[in-house]
Amino acid sequence: MEVIKDLPEVFEEFAEQRKNSFLTVKELKDKGIPIVGAYCTYFPQEIAMAMGAATVGLCSTSDETIPVAERDLPKNLCPLIKSSYGFAITDKCPFFYFSDVVVGETTCDGKKKMYEYMAEFKDVFLMELPNSQREEGLKLWKSEIIRFKEYLENKFDVEITEDQIRDAIKVNNAGRRSLKRLYEVMKHDPAPIKGQDLFKVLYGSTFKFDRKAIPAEVDALVDKIEKEYAEGIMQEEKPRILVTGCPVGGATEKVIKAIEDNGGIVVTYENCTGAKSIDKLVDEDNPDVYDALARRYLNIGCSVMTPNPNRLELMGRLIDEYQVDGVVEVLLQACHTYSVESKGIRDFVNEKKGIPYISVETDYSQADIGQLNTRIAAFIEML
């Protein structure tokens, strides 16, 4: 008989998923399954999945390894880049240690130079990401996806067929549909669950190696949330917050906690771990699989794109659909693209959507928790 777990238990399981996957990655490696590690939402997972590889997001969200990274990298560099490099060079990230290849991408200047150093001690495949979403950019990105496929074929002595890629697209799309269904439970007012619990599942699911298992697990969770909501189990009515900006996870979850400890509730995440990475599906009907993948991934609205209308389009939709009362933007110190774009985001939120906005600049230390609480409490009180 299947034991039906309580929601808090399920949320904790997802929260522990990253740690639990440390063992799984070794088991996969022992079975001879190739491991492909990556750092970015632009990484076209389906190409690696098509050859039977396991794909995983690499450690980059803790200040634990930053002092070591700063021996090689400047102190005034984005903490995400320093953390990524620190985990790599100290071998403190099992995912990195067991990866046969790490896929980098030329998203920002700091990252692409850091990958040069990383390539001195690890196989790094660097994908040249265009700076814009014009047709010329699309052509370049499609050619980069094909180049990545050919690299994997040569490195692992395999053939990757278009049918295998199509199968991988279907698997990932199914996972995206289920995760989208999950975060859409937050359209309810009042919200059915805490934003922190929603985040545990969104973040935890990125560390599940068995992608085919995601839809069943997440769908069962959504059904349980909806059932309890219908029975009157829900959160109190609170100001509804959208979180945007730099990638959130690990150390920066302190911002989510500060919002929810001070009377708000995060109903939607526009960041990489949230809607940005799940919102759009790969077109399964496009006869050209490389074009389908290139379009889907290049359309992600990250601040490295110029101009970046897709971020505003997604944010505007989320603000309307989730009845958002205020927007909190998370800016990592020295993340130039997001920091510069924050003026455009503030103008859009204040003027076009007519709601309040606040940006909080932070890093991976816990030193600013008091200040974060003070600023966010004042912001939520104003709402």
Pair 186, 298 in one domain: yes
Pair 260, 361 in one domain: yes
Question: Is there a domain that residue 6 lies in?
Answer: no
Cα(349)–Cα(358) distance, integer angstroms: 10
Pair 194, 95 in one domain: no
Pair 196, 154 in one domain: no
What value, to the nearest 5°, has the Cα angle with vertex 245 and ends 280 and 204?
65
Task: Decide which of 142, 160, 178 is a domain's last residue.
Answer: 160
Task: Decide which of 135, 160, 185 is a domain's last residue.
Answer: 160
Q: Is the pLDDT of residue 1 over 70?
A: no
Question: Is there a domain that residue 4 lies in?
Answer: no
Q: Is the pLDDT of residue 5 over 70?
A: yes
Question: Is there a domain that residue 321 lies in?
Answer: yes
Task: Decide which of 119, 142, 160 is a domain's last residue.
Answer: 160
Pair 199, 104 in one domain: no
In this prediction, residue 51 has a pLDDT band, given cuts at 50, 70 and 90, of very high
Q: Is the pLDDT of residue 231 over 60?
A: yes
- Token pair listed for 100: 């046969």
Residue range 74-102: mean pLDDT, rounded: 97
Question: Is there a domain that residue 215 lies in?
Answer: yes
- Average pLDDT of the chain? 97
Range of the domain at 147: 11-160
DSSP result, 204-271: HHTT-S-GGGHHHHHHHHHHHHHHHHHTT--PPP--EEEEEES---GGGHHHHHHHHHTT-EEEEE-S
Question: Is there a domain that residue 172 lies in?
Answer: yes
The predicted model scores a pTM of 0.97
Cβ-Cβ contacts under 8 Å for 223 (sequence gap 6 or more): none
Residue range 253-257: mean pLDDT, rounded: 98
In this prediction, residue 296 has a pLDDT band, given cuts at 50, 70 and 90, of very high
Residue range 211-223: mean pLDDT, rounded: 97
Pair 95, 223 in one domain: no
CB 201 within 8 Å of CB 182: yes
Pair 168, 314 in one domain: yes
Secondary element (H or E) of residue 182: helix 162-183
Number of domains forming the structure of the chain: 2
Q: Is the pLDDT of residue 77 over 50?
A: yes
Q: Which residue has the tokens 């889907």?
A: 296
Per-residue pLDDT of 57-76, as tens digits, reads 999 999 999 999 999 999 99
